[in-house]
Amino acid sequence: MRKYNIAVVGATGMVGRTFLKVLEERKLPIDNFYVFASARSAGSTLMFQGKEYTVLELNENSFKDYQVDIALFSAGGGTSLKYAPIAAESGCIVIDNSSAWRMDKEVPLVVPEVNASDILKHKGIIANPNCSTIQAVVALNPLHRAYSIKRIIYTTFQAVSGAGMGGYNDLSEGLKGNPPQKFPHQIAGNCIPHIDVFLENGYTKEEIKMVEETRKILNDQSLKITATTVRVPVFDSHSESINVEFNKSYDLEDLIETLKSGEGLIVQDDTAKEIYPLALNAAGQDEVFVGRIRRDESVDNGVNLWVVADNIRKGAATNAVQIAQWIIANDVIQ
């Protein structure tokens, strides 16, 4: 079986370290493995498959020099903007976790459970969607296919780990009474309705990412979508309230069955036993969990869902590694 040279860019970061974990768990056929970061952490070491790897400083020649076949990037938008085209130029396929390339028409935006075959349209860069969007579309795709979604209202409750190591530190230090370094306000004991920067229309960039990325992944520009994204004092896993209105009428039992057979989706919904998806339970898991499934009685064909997933795993690292697995399984690299 063919083996691949795989690199992780941003390997010392929150998502980067999880790339290593998930690559190890899923036993990808790796020939040579490389870990890159900035000059700050070059020379430090990371463990992978029981071996110590020295962190290398990323530069223009990294991909060519090491003949990298697949590179998983999570080192911020600036690094992706600069280095992803350089990597692609040298014949490497980049799976990029930043928002830099997601809305580029030439770049597929992929959640394997939804639109894996879009990978075949790649020109060297494949974008991994925003964490909040990934878990939402895993739940929404089977419903869109069955009942044709007209409108979506997202409200998110996002973990601090979505802001990387800095976000994690703000919550743990905030709990000890120390001031925030990463967020604009104290997150401990608080909810901050502000993720990423504010845009002219009053929305945050995070909210607009959810709107635009959902349309691109579900391949339906007609979807009406609005979003409010909120940072909450939770370490791991994003929770989302999703209100959906369909064009077609539906039967609630059928809708629940549709969700139960959804790929990568687990229904946890037994309110009599106080069973519903919880951030703490989703942490460390690769699936998306859905519960509190109930008819929205204020409209004709509406439903409310509570959707939870580990934002660093399914919302980032797992999704990217699944894309790499699909590339390998389908011999995308000649």
Residues forming the site for ligand A2P (CB under 6 A): 10-14, 16, 36-38, 40-41, 58, 75-76, 79, 164-166
Least Å distance, CB 127 to ligand A2P, is 17
- Least distance to ligand A2P from the beta carbon of 173, Å? 15
Pairing of β 224-231 and β 238-246: unpaired
Residue 119 in contact with residue 110, Cβ under 8 Å? yes
- Separation CA 99–CA 193 (nearest Å): 20
Instruction: Return the SS3 of 114.
Output: helix
Q: How far is the CB of 20 from ligand A2P (least distance, A)?
A: 11
Kindly state the smallest distance separating residue 39's Cβ from ligand A2P, in Å: 7
The whole-angstrom separation of Cα 308 and Cα 241 is 9
**236 closest CA partner among 12, 18, 37, 24:** 18
Q: Is 131 a catalytic residue?
A: yes
Q: What burial class does residue 257 get, using C-beta atoms within 10 Å of its C-beta: 0-12 exposed, 13-18 middle, 19+ buried?
A: middle
Is position 191 annotated as part of the catalytic site?
no
Residue 55: partners with Cβ closer than 8 Å, 6 or more residues away: 11, 12, 35, 36, 37, 41, 42, 43, 44, 45, 46
**Is the Cβ of residue 140 or residue 195 nearer to ligand A2P in the bound state?**
195
Please say which residue, 125 or 265, places its beta carbon nearer to ligand A2P: 125
Residue nearest to ligand A2P (CB): 13
The catalytic residue among 92, 122, 144, 238 is 238
Closest to ligand A2P by CB, 79 or 258: 79
In this complex, which beta carbon is closest to ligand A2P, that of residue 173 or of residue 296? 173
Closer to ligand A2P at the Cβ: 37 or 283? 37
Closest-CA residue to 16 (of 323, 327, 317, 324): 317
Q: How far apart are CA 229 and CA 202, in angstroms?
A: 12
3-state secondary structure 178-239: CCCCCCCCCCCCCCECCCCCECCCCCEHHHHHHHHHHHHHCCCCCCEEEEEEEECCCCCCEE
Residue 234 or 255: which CB sits closer to ligand A2P?
Answer: 234
Residues 142 and 124: beta-carbon distance below 8 Å:
no
Shortest CB 334 distance to ligand A2P, Å: 28
Q: Which of 92, 122, 131, 144 is catalytic?
A: 131
Q: Which residues contact 251 (CB under 8 A, 6 or more apart)?
A: none
In terms of CB distance, is 91 or 166 closer to ligand A2P? Answer: 166
Shortest separation between residue 180's beta carbon and ligand A2P, angstroms: 15
Q: Where are the beta strands (DSSP E) in 20-168?
A: 30-37, 45-48, 51-54, 56-57, 70-73, 93-96, 125-127, 149-158
**Element (DSSP H or E) covering residue 5:** strand 4-9
* CB of residue 37 to ligand A2P, shortest distance in Å: 3
> Which residues are known catalytic residues?
131, 238
